[in-house]
Structure 1
Amino acid sequence: MSEIKLYNDDCIVAMKKVADKSIDLIVTDPPYNLGNFMKNRDTNLSKMRDNFFGSAGWDDMEFDDWEKSMDNFFKSSARVMKKGGTMIVFMAIIKVETIIRLAEKHGFYYKTTGIWHKTNPMPRNMNLHFVNSTEAWVYFTYKTRTGTFNNGGAMFHDFVETSVTPNGERKYGKHPTQKPESLIQHFVEILSNPDDWVLDPFMGSGTTGVVAKRTERNFIGVELDKTYFDMAKSRIEEKRNETKCN
């Protein structure tokens, strides 16, 4: 049985409890630092989605404060990551250069930037400009130029296409930036092995934990917001109970 450890805390504080050089894979979706930017944009997103991330309060830091927080995140990640471990960070395209610079400062090797394409995005402002249907992800390895890559001889592009998160994965509540399980499972299965330790320091609604449990990985998840933490805990416990029954 895989192990699950969940922390309702600030990620930097919680990661101090994680052993040095113990993590094989980090898959995470930190704040994009777009809250203030989006509030000044001509968009009807806030009207269409009641939990719009720009109004949630956790993505409205000033850039310098956000940059410092991400620097601390990469510093903590470097301590817990095994040599040859892998990291996937979802990020706004306009912040990718900053993320790469901070990661390389702490020993992470930049592999590539890829795209997640949503096949059914929210059609906001469709008569004004191009519909926003993509998000970036950044791929790193730690202290080496290669890591686990379970491609089975197949060619995987840096372009991943799925639908947005289905309603069945939101039954414990809604998170404004929740990623679909199929997207996260794509990375977990390719970039780690059964019994590996997977960490998500910005766990949100717990998708990475659900996928880790399903694919027989050990998981450590951290989420500061109590509402989202409880949501994640319920989802992961449901998957744990399903595994026991099977």
Structure 2
Amino acid sequence: MSDSRAWLDQVYCEDALAGLARIPDGAVDLILTDPPYNLGKDYGNASDQQTVEEYLRWTEEWIAAALPKLKPNGSLYIFLTWRFSPEIFVMLKRRMTMMNEIIWDRRVPSMGGSVRSYSSVHDTIGFFVKRKDYYFDLDAVRIAYDAATKKARSRSIFVGAKWLEIGYNPKDLWSVSRLHKEHPERADHPTQKPLEIIERMVKASCPPDGVVLDLFMGSGTTALAAKRCGRRFVGFELNQDYCDIIHARLAALDAAPAGAGAKAGAKPPAKRAPAKRAGTAAVKKAAAKPGAKKPKPETVTL
């Protein structure tokens, strides 16, 4: 008899639309995913190079296939570009309740850019839930007040105030630097998201030992964040090169000394020589060589 939970803590190198059948309905606490933005990037396939109609039809297809996997009190976070977020938010609003539109300010320096429009320096994140009693642990993601603020609130009416001691609620504007080429967390992927952002979502919206699903694993940051936060994960990545990166990053985390998870989790895999795929542009490869420096990725595609 096969193990009904054998799909846990797995990253499958396959199309998510085909692989979702592995996951039972109602088994996932959180869907956290960063699909292709359809901006023409090369992920080793044509997933980011569709017509507008094809892209929106494909998006509706994977949303319809993924949402049944969520538990009734589950949540979803989705990274998007402003170019398509209105249409995709409407798709999701037909099925879920929208709690926030989060703006990720990537802290891009003001250099160059279009002379006919304003420079785009943010990504849009949608936070959706299935029903009113969704899981959300605010205390796990509060931001500590600095010493100056605490000192300014030293009057007797503030003494013992919980909010002053445990910090404040993160706002819906997250100013976190993108991962530059030399960043120690960087892997060889063009749209890698920072662990800081992904871990905030995991801690807030997935209970301890809960399950996080990512349909477009990319560099594997969702899997890494789940593991570092004591959650389970499952995901899909179509590009074998990125699958190699994910497995190398997870292996580095496993090999790290106790208490060094953050450091080890951030180490990127070693780079291999670029390899060409049949019918696609060259895709950089990363190998799991311990100690070798590697750049880090961001997102994934189907």
Scaled by the length of structure 1, the TM-score of the pair is 0.82
Task: Note if contact 2:44-2:239 (Cα within 8 Å) is conserved in structure 1.
Answer: no
2:84 matched residue in structure 1: 95
Rg larger for: 2
Offset at residue 241 of structure 1 (A): 2.8
Higher helix share: 1
In the alignment, the residues of structure 2 paired with residue 181 and residue 245 of structure 1 have an alpha-carbon distance, to the nearest angstrom, of 17
Task: Note if contact 1:118-1:163 (Cα within 8 Å) is conserved in structure 2.
Answer: yes
| 2:43 maps to 1:29 | no
Instruction: Give CA deviations for 1:32-87 in whole Å, capped at 9, x if unaligned.
Output: 1222xxxxxxxxxxxxxxxx559974311111211121111111112111001010
In the alignment, the residues of structure 2 paired with residue 128 and residue 64 of structure 1 have an alpha-carbon distance, to the nearest angstrom, of 26
Offset at residue 108 of structure 1 (A): 1.9
Q: Residue 178 of structure 1 aligns to a residue in which SS?
A: coil
Q: Which runs of 5+ in 1 are unaligned?
A: 36-51
Task: Note if contact 1:53-1:177 (Cα within 8 Å) is conserved in structure 2.
Answer: no
2:159 matched residue in structure 1: none
| 2:85 maps to 1:71 | no
Aligned AA (1:181): L
231, 240, 250: which one aligns with 1:217? 231
Offset at residue 95 of structure 1 (A): 1.0
Instruction: Give CA deviations for 1:93-149 in whole Å, capped at 9, x if unaligned.
Output: 1211211222234x222222110011245834287764432110001012x035222
Task: Note if contact 1:121-1:164 (Cα within 8 Å) is conserved in structure 2.
Answer: no
| 2:138 maps to 1:151 | yes
In the alignment, the residues of structure 2 paired with residue 193 and residue 223 of structure 1 have an alpha-carbon distance, to the nearest angstrom, of 24
Offset at residue 9 of structure 1 (A): 0.4
2:96 matched residue in structure 1: 108
Offset at residue 213 of structure 1 (A): 0.6
Task: Note if contact 1:31-1:59 (Cα within 8 Å) is conserved in structure 2.
Answer: yes
In the alignment, the residues of structure 2 paired with residue 28 and residue 203 of structure 1 have an alpha-carbon distance, to the nearest angstrom, of 7
Q: Identity of aligned pairs, percent?
A: 26
In the alignment, the residues of structure 2 paired with residue 233 and residue 103 of structure 1 have an alpha-carbon distance, to the nearest angstrom, of 31
In the alignment, the residues of structure 2 paired with residue 181 and residue 121 of structure 1 have an alpha-carbon distance, to the nearest angstrom, of 21
In the alignment, the residues of structure 2 paired with residue 190 and residue 90 of structure 1 have an alpha-carbon distance, to the nearest angstrom, of 16
Q: Residue 16 of structure 1 aligns to a residue in which SS?
A: helix
Scaled by the length of structure 2, the TM-score of the pair is 0.68
2:126 matched residue in structure 1: 138
Q: Residue 36 of structure 2 aligns to a residue in which SS?
A: coil
Task: Note if contact 2:43-2:239 (Cα within 8 Å) is conserved in structure 1.
Answer: no
Instruction: Give CA deviations for 1:181-207 in whole Å, capped at 9, x if unaligned.
Output: 111111111111210000110000001
Instruction: Give the root-mean-square deviation of aligned CA atoms.
Output: 2.3
Question: How many residues align structurally?
Answer: 224
